[in-house]
Structure 1
Amino acid sequence: MIIINGKTIDLATGELNQHGETQQLEPKVLAVLTVLYQANGMLVSQQTLLDTVWPNTVVAPNALQRCITQLRKHLADDDKTLIQTFAKRGYRLQVPTTTPRLKTTRSLPKPRSIAMIAVALLIILSLIWLQFSSPQQLLSVSKISPLTYQPSAEQQGSTFNQQLVYVNKTGNTSQLIWLNQTSGEERILHQSAHYLGVASFAADGETLLIAEQVFTEEDKESKKCSQIILLAVKNNSDPRIVSPCMSAQISQVYWLNQTKAIFLANNQLSTISLTAPHSQVTLNLTDDIAKIAHFTLSDQQLVISGQTATGQNSLWFLTPHTNDGFTLSHKINLTYDVFSASAAVKLTDNKWLQSHLNTLYVYCDAELCGQTPLATQATITLTAKLNPKTLLATSILKNAAITHRHWQEQQWQAKHILTSEFLERSAQFQPNGQAIAFISNRTGTEQLWLNQNTTAQNPKQLTFADPVHDYIWQADGQALWFLTAKGLYQLTLTAPEKITHHPLKTAISDLMQHVEDKDNNWLLVKTQAGSQLASVNLKTADLTLLNVVDVAWAQALDASRIIFATIKHPYLQLLSDNSTSPITELADIKLQWRFYLRHQQLYIPDKQTRIWRYDFTKRSKVQLGHYDADSFLTTDFQGAPLQMLSDTPKASQTNLVAISLTGLTP
């Protein structure tokens, strides 16, 4: 029993009593109240409420807002002081965290009353047990405090005792900064074009390893490679290069022991001798690791975040054995995409943490034992532990506009649309219509929105549950297909709007095109495992793998002909009857990012900032001016009238923050 604003509420039955009158709360309204009450006065994000009250469910628009409105009516919260709204973040129930004691009479209770009291006590004890045994109550975040304040990007932090090393990036230059957190002393350790991953301290804290990206000129063309360098912390001596410069990008390196390092490159973990740079040895890991997103080595325990061949996201925990090898200790299957999560961070001997979409997940031994939201508009990526009660993370507060350009007087005329303080991306024109769909984090997580045209400034939110990773318009413009961590969905826009889940047998990561004719209704997609080109039959849910791996982007002319480019070969090719061939007229065009097929014409931005239109009927190409820094990430083209949409990165604030934890026993 709890009392709020003079009203007695039974959280077990949903009965609300005042002045002898009883009202029954709806189940979802009661569930929302329970979550807010158990947060003990802390802010609860919209996403946490949706995930808790409507687990594994796509909810109707405004479902959560309706429950909040009903609660306020039941609690007579007319001035909205009991249930406080934090715009774009969530809600907080502002009531005492202790349950008030109800008045009782001195007369002896009747037998039936005794039974009712006993039942009530059991319910209260059960609620108390649930509150303290529930994973969500295992830890909470008391505050997120900035550690650095510069306008430049300060990121990729790592620590050793009171030493903090991080990357300060300005334009095309990155500096590796050393900071003594006790004295405040600070200095530049090294400077490079780009650092990869976080710095790894040696066991004595006097030297560190980090990977850097190097640009070279070869045959009048800029080439890039990555290498591992060793730096002394106490002096500014020249770095020692301890690996050859590799074409494969090194994403992270750690000390394995005093003479060897372990690093991730090209989806493989390898060891290298610090005194013999060419002595690389690829590690043989457990067979079910198909794709590695991150790895962490702490106190000789190796934790790998990755995916299996079927696309299952997992954490693998391995322990060392002889000859620098590792043996699998245990494995945890995850419900979120590891490629949008942080690397795992060790908190205590049996507790590991990982951040994903501003939620902190806690793993105890071999299972998930808690999670808590990070209530901030910035994107938080966990990088290290400062102490058993404080975490180190990178905070990125992004702002991006969607740029609309139209072709007029032989040049592109531009303007920003949907300008806001939030991250807006991936805008696409509606086929056979005027609307523009896009992804925005206006409500705290990335959701699908719809703008009626290029000039309107009052977009409509379309999705309200799990964050949307990717989407594509249906060919007729009457529906949208989108991906979340829970799978593929179709959102029909004809009244009444409806969201339908389409279970798939194989996990996919990118939606590139919807194709529909009298015989076919399918999606052109990329698989999570291996980035393989594939088609999904929307009638049968069957996925057919096509003969292209590491695909960058693709568009289908019809069911038998697909144009594609791969990550390693960014030139357009044609896949027909399971064989590939170059497109002769486009052989010299190196793809910038993506290309788009509209009415049998290809629109292709290239690496030389040119935009091309290629007509398949005439087999001819024509240049359509150039793109600039505001439109190099083109998200869609429309042929008549000729116009395009682009993601335009704007100023963002990137700094290091400290996350203070409570309720977690080290």
Structure 2
Amino acid sequence: MKNKFKLNNIEVDVKRNSLKVNGAWVTIEPRTMDVLTYLARYPKQVISQESLFKALWPNTTFSAGAVQRCIAQLRKALNDDAKKPFFIITHTKRGYSLDVTPKSLTVTWISSKYVGWLCLLLVGISLFILRVFDHKSEFQSKHLSPLTTSSSFDHSPVYSANGNELAFIRKNESANQVIVKDLSEGIEHVLLSSYDDYQSLVWGADNENLYFVVRENNTEWVGKLNLNGTLQKVLSVNKPHRIWKVIDDKHFLYYLSVEESVNESANTKLMRLDKNTSEEVVLIASSYEFTPYRISLSHNRDKIAVAGETQFGKLDIRVFAVEERLLSKSLHKMPLGFTEITWSAKDQSIILAHENRLYSLSLDGEIDELPHIGFQRIFNPRGHPTENKIAMSYTHYKTDLVEAKLGQQTINRLIDSIGQDHLATYSPCGKSVAFVSTRNGHSQIFVLQNGQQILIEENPSHENIYRTPVWSNYEDKLFYSLGSALYEYSIPDNQVIKHELPNYFGYVLDVYSDDDNLLVATKRENGVRFERYDLITKTFTSLANSGVNFQATLDQEDNLVFLKDNKLHWGADEYDMSAYSGLDGRFYSLNNKLLFQSKDTIVSFDKTSFETVQTFLPSEAVSLIDVFSNEQLMFVTVAENRAIIAEYEIATQ
């Protein structure tokens, strides 16, 4: 199929993911364009959902919903009525067909005097491509196959020592379950079922017990579960202490102990518990230079991979030698983001799941990215003990953006894609919305303008986006942060300016009324501060110490607003907020008042009194994320959240 073709009077530009409908260009998602081009390759032929899916995304677990959503988006872009379709026909229980034969656009031929030079150029490019791909990475994806197929949320997979069984946790509406699956026979055995919150599942060293963490209101405890279903408590801690990870090694139990304090950095320790004497020893403690937060015991149980954060806000991977009790120097550093670690077969390398990408890190510090495996998000990778396989939780997570009037249940759906749409904000005039979406497999920034969703930040390096983009007051710019860089996007000319800032820069939070100063968060000495950054002089001015748990905004008079220690800080004043629970720290300035969400209610505060202005959330809504007026409140919907366990096989050359 050519990169440009016509469907009746509609022009299709495949490379730009665009359709020209009624004289105006409409941008669609890459996956949606993939579906259109495949149907156009076989016009008037009925193609099943599964055939379409496997042809386009062969290494991804089949999802009928993904195909249906692409078809719905295509019909919307083409102005094609599903009840009286002209372009895309639905054949009940059989599939879809494109009922229009595509035609090539007019081609401009090259003058014959340039043909010789063009041939030489093509030969050169071909030789270059062959040379590049002759030195490709040693890792190649063979296939991704499901190990579970339930409609629940399956997570925390872990292979037994011989790799014949897989234990995992299944979360559904009726109960949470600990399950062991015989991989050769395909039979699942439910060992435990209750409403308890199970986390961090691991096999015991004897391969006859499972250990996991149970989270309760004020307590967390480690459970030891025999394969016959017998459960006993091994260790428990009370708040503010928590247990992030537990691993068993014959005589000892290792666990990551965390003390979480509001507005202070988490204090983490790698602990070793003697199962016979109950003696506890601190092996690694968080310090100014390194704070551990992920651990993984090697298959031969002689070393522990440790992922942590440096004082400069970088992810750092190290190895702890169990017998010598020594922590290595850094193997590799990369941008901070959501990361999980495991060991590959025979402990040849450390596998990193970092920002929805997979990496293999050798013990010499050499890192290779494993081929991209699809659009779903991945969690809990666990390496097979003897084979080049990784089991992981392969998730579907979707949220939409909806709008409602104050005091009304009815919603207007603003953004509805196949991924997570969130971190959204109205433009100053309320006619446009900037938001973050994971529809293409990683976080990207879009603008909803005149009914069209425009991609403005592709984020090719897959940096995590933690904060909402910020509009300038004149709506001609958007500010956002990726890694330790600040970006300034010009709406009129689609140009981006990258501001390189010190490594303590964190996020941009708001813009001052002069448009020359930004409210930003910085991380210094393991604490977060709110600061004013001057775009002209390139200088920071410290405003307040927010600690770790932070959100902040500016009111209409540029006063700083944030929550700390159950107190609302509004300019120079403080107000007690202990009467309100479920606060996320976000406040929205409206008519010299602040609006905020407390559980399922919306409250207004004018520095004198609190007023509950709404005692419910609109239909499908779960979280208030911006306010423009009483007529325009924006919410994130309840998430569609499910997951299967999938096995990713890697071939080495």
Alignment TM-score, normalising by the size of structure 1 = 0.71
1:516-665 → structure 2 map (5 Å cutoff): 516-517=513-514, 521-525=517-521, 527=523, 530=526, 532-539=528-535, 540-544=537-541, 546-557=544-555, 561-566=559-564, 569-574=565-570, 576=572, 582-584=574-576, 586-599=577-590, 600-607=592-599, 609-616=600-607, 619-628=608-617, 630-638=620-628, 640-664=629-653
Is the 1:132–1:138 Cα contact (8 Å) retained in structure 2?
no
Q: 1:444 aligns with which of 424, 441, 445?
A: 441
Letter paired with 1:142: K
SS at 1:547's partner residue?
strand
1:309-348 → structure 2 map (5 Å cutoff): 309-322=311-324, 325-334=325-334, 336-337=335-336, 339-348=337-346
Shift of 1:253: 1.0
Distance across 1 between alignment mates of 2:579 and 2:200: 38
- Give the aligned partner of residue 52 of structure 1: none
Deviations for 1:590-619, whole angstroms, at most 9, x for unmatched residues? Answer: 343242232432111113x22111124xx2
Letter paired with 1:268: T
Deviations for 1:349-404, whole angstroms, at most 9, x for unmatched residues? Answer: 33221123442211122323421332312112252112422111110022221121
Deviations for 1:90-135, whole angstroms, at most 9, x for unmatched residues? Answer: 999xxxxxxxxxxxxxxxxxxxxxxxx9xx99x96x977754544x
Distance across 2 between alignment mates of 1:142 and 1:327: 35
Distance across 2 between alignment mates of 1:89 and 1:637: 40
Q: Structure 1 residues 309-318 or 148-157, which shifts more?
A: 309-318
Letter paired with 2:377: T
Is the 1:516–1:522 Cα contact (8 Å) retained in structure 2?
no
Distance across 2 between alignment mates of 1:206 and 1:360: 30
Is the 1:341–1:356 Cα contact (8 Å) retained in structure 2?
yes
Letter paired with 2:331: K
- Give the aligned partner of residue 141 of structure 1: 141
SS at 1:367's partner residue?
coil
Letter paired with 1:398: Y
1:176-195 → structure 2 map (5 Å cutoff): 176-193=178-195, 195=197
Distance across 1 between alignment mates of 2:520 and 2:585: 14
Paired-residue identity, %: 14
Compared CA separation, residues 276 and 192, structure 1 to 2 (3 A): farther
Is the 2:399–2:636 Cα contact (8 Å) retained in structure 1?
yes
SS at 1:398's partner residue?
strand
Compared CA separation, residues 80 and 344, structure 1 to 2 (3 A): farther
1:41-80 → structure 2 map (5 Å cutoff): none
Letter paired with 2:496: I
Letter paired with 2:417: S
SS at 1:422's partner residue?
coil
**Mapped pair 1:163 → 2:191:** no
Distance across 1 between alignment mates of 2:54 and 2:186: 36
Compared CA separation, residues 259 and 571, structure 1 to 2 (3 A): same
SS at 2:308's partner residue?
strand
1:116-131 → structure 2 map (5 Å cutoff): 130-131=132-133
Q: Structure 1 residues 146-155 or 466-475, which shifts more?
A: 466-475
Q: 1:365 aligns with which of 363, 366, 387?
A: 363
Q: 1:355 aligns with which of 350, 353, 356?
A: 353
Q: 2:419 aligns with which of 414, 417, 422?
A: 422
Distance across 1 between alignment mates of 2:197 and 2:507: 27
1:281-296 → structure 2 map (5 Å cutoff): 281-285=281-285, 287=287, 289-296=289-296
- Give the aligned partner of residue 388 of structure 1: 387
Shift of 1:189: 2.3
Compared CA separation, residues 193 and 445, structure 1 to 2 (3 A): same
Distance across 1 between alignment mates of 2:511 and 2:532: 10
Shift of 1:624: 1.3
1:499-510 → structure 2 map (5 Å cutoff): 499-510=496-507
SS at 1:632's partner residue?
strand
Deviations for 1:410-450, whole angstroms, at most 9, x for unmatched residues? Answer: 44432333223332222211112411111223333321111
Compared CA separation, residues 511 and 251, structure 1 to 2 (3 A): farther
Compared CA separation, residues 273 and 356, structure 1 to 2 (3 A): closer
Distance across 2 between alignment mates of 1:292 and 1:286: 6
Compared CA separation, residues 138 and 197, structure 1 to 2 (3 A): farther
Distance across 1 between alignment mates of 2:395 and 2:284: 36
Letter paired with 1:625: Q
Letter paired with 1:438: F
Deviations for 1:75-103, whole angstroms, at most 9, x for unmatched residues? Answer: xxx9799xxx99998999xxxxxxxxxxx
Is the 1:212–1:228 Cα contact (8 Å) retained in structure 2?
yes
Is the 1:527–1:534 Cα contact (8 Å) retained in structure 2?
no
Letter paired with 1:644: L
Q: State the aligned residue count.
A: 533
Distance across 2 between alignment mates of 1:529 and 1:191: 44
Compared CA separation, residues 419 and 300, structure 1 to 2 (3 A): same
Runs (5+) with no aligned partner, structure 2: 4-14, 16-25, 44-51, 60-119, 260-266
Distance across 2 between alignment mates of 1:328 and 1:376: 34
Q: Structure 1 residues 537-546 or 269-278, which shifts more?
A: 269-278
Distance across 2 between alignment mates of 1:301 and 1:605: 46
**Mapped pair 1:262 → 2:255:** yes
Is the 1:316–1:331 Cα contact (8 Å) retained in structure 2?
yes
Compared CA separation, residues 401 and 560, structure 1 to 2 (3 A): closer
Is the 1:411–1:624 Cα contact (8 Å) retained in structure 2?
no
Distance across 2 between alignment mates of 1:574 and 1:240: 46
Distance across 2 between alignment mates of 1:561 and 1:459: 32
Compared CA separation, residues 561 and 276, structure 1 to 2 (3 A): farther
Compared CA separation, residues 598 and 91, structure 1 to 2 (3 A): farther
Shift of 1:213: 0.5
- Give the aligned partner of residue 113 of structure 1: none
Distance across 1 between alignment mates of 2:409 and 2:154: 35
Compared CA separation, residues 225 and 512, structure 1 to 2 (3 A): farther
Q: 1:228 aligns with which of 214, 217, 222?
A: 222
- Give the aligned partner of residue 244 of structure 1: 237
Deviations for 1:552-574, whole angstroms, at most 9, x for unmatched residues? Answer: 322234899533224xx444245
**Mapped pair 1:271 → 2:271:** yes
Shift of 1:504: 1.4
Distance across 2 between alignment mates of 1:509 and 1:228: 35
Letter paired with 1:379: R
- Give the aligned partner of residue 213 of structure 1: 215
Distance across 2 between alignment mates of 1:153 and 1:270: 29
1:373-412 → structure 2 map (5 Å cutoff): 373-386=371-384, 387-407=386-406, 410-412=407-409
Compared CA separation, residues 397 and 622, structure 1 to 2 (3 A): same
Is the 1:527–1:533 Cα contact (8 Å) retained in structure 2?
yes
Compared CA separation, residues 647 and 241, structure 1 to 2 (3 A): same
Shift of 1:250: 1.9
**Mapped pair 1:301 → 2:303:** yes
Letter paired with 1:611: I
Compared CA separation, residues 79 and 429, structure 1 to 2 (3 A): same
Letter paired with 1:140: Q
Shift of 1:258: 1.6
